[in-house]
Amino acid sequence: MKFEGTSSYIATEDLKVAVNAAITLERPIIVKGEPGTGKTMLAHEVAQSLGAEIITWHIKSTTKAQQGLYEYDAVTRLRDSQLGDEKVKDIKNYISKGKLWNAFESNKRPVLLIDEIDKADIEFPNDLLLELDKMEFFVYETGETIKAENRPIVIITSNNEKELPDAFLRRCFFHYIKFPDPDTMEEIVNVHYPEIKKDLIQEAFKIFYDIREVPGIKKKPSTSELIDWLKLLMTDDVDAKILREKDPKKLIPPLHGALLKNEQDVHLFERLAFISRRENENLE
Which residues contact another protein by CB under 8 A?
13-14, 17-18, 20-21, 24-25, 27, 29-30, 32, 74-75, 78-79, 82, 122, 160-164, 166, 169-176, 178
| Residue 156 buriedness (CB in 10 A; 0-12 / 13-18 / 19+) | buried
β-bridge partners, 30: 156, 174
Of the two residues 118 and 203, which places its CB atom closer to another protein in the complex? 118
d(CA 203, CA 165): 43
In the complex, the smallest distance separating the C-beta of residue 33 from another protein, rounded to whole angstroms, is: 8
In the complex, the smallest distance separating the C-beta of residue 249 from another protein, rounded to whole angstroms, is: 30
In the complex, the smallest distance separating the C-beta of residue 240 from another protein, rounded to whole angstroms, is: 30
d(CA 279, CA 147): 68
Residue 32: other Cβ atoms inside 10 A: 18
158 and 31 in contact (C-beta within 8 Å)? Answer: yes
Of the two residues 160 and 280, which places its CB atom closer to another protein in the complex? 160
In the complex, the smallest distance separating the C-beta of residue 159 from another protein, rounded to whole angstroms, is: 9
Among 218, 227, 231, which residue's Cα sits nearest to residue 260? 218
Of the two residues 27 and 97, which places its CB atom closer to another protein in the complex? 27
In the chain, which ranges are continuous DSSP H helix? 13-25, 39-50, 65-69, 74-83, 99-105, 124-127, 129-134, 166-170, 182-192, 198-213, 223-235, 240-244, 263-283
Length of the chain: 284
Of the two residues 3 and 269, which places its CB atom closer to another protein in the complex? 3
In the complex, the smallest distance separating the C-beta of residue 203 from another protein, rounded to whole angstroms, is: 26
Of the two residues 13 and 284, which places its CB atom closer to another protein in the complex? 13
In the complex, the smallest distance separating the C-beta of residue 20 from another protein, rounded to whole angstroms, is: 6
Of the two residues 183 and 237, which places its CB atom closer to another protein in the complex? 183
In the complex, the smallest distance separating the C-beta of residue 64 from another protein, rounded to whole angstroms, is: 13
226 and 190 in contact (C-beta within 8 Å)? Answer: no
